[in-house]
Structure 1
């Protein structure tokens, strides 16, 4: 069994001012930041490794958006 993932929860308005911190936590500490809007959890910042493993586990592929 793996250790629980550390999860931070912040309002989107607050993350705007400290976005680099949230990305750094995901990238270097493998800690997630859950973004909230009006008290609801709406999105999450996770490491690329975690994202890729999640896609693989779900059997999904990445599809780049068209520019």
Structure 2
């Protein structure tokens, strides 16, 4: 059985200008950026290639989020 994952899509400019460097590192150099909040590791920014390989390795499939964000 294949698991499904919801995938939200946003424009980089709508997120934050400060993320441009981290996105560039993931996109062009395949470097990972761990995001923290109050010292806690909460999310990871990775390249699309890495993300797709991870989903494949885990046997999961991504599906687009509904236009209303659900």
Pick the TM interval, shorter chain.
Answer: 0.7 to 0.9
Give the total of aligned pairs.
Answer: 52
Gaps of 5+ in 1: 1-15
Task: Report SS of the residue matched to 2:60.
Answer: coil
Q: Which has the higher strand share?
A: 2
Which ranges of 4 or more aligned residues in structure 1 deviate by more than 6 Å?
none
Higher relative contact order (CA 8 A, sep 6+): 2
TM-score by length of structure 1 reads: 0.74
Q: Which runs of no fewer than 5 residues in structure 2 stay unpaired?
A: 1-15
* 1:66 equivalent in structure 2: 66
Distance 1:37 1:17 in 2: 18
Structure 1 position 18, deviation (Å): 1.9
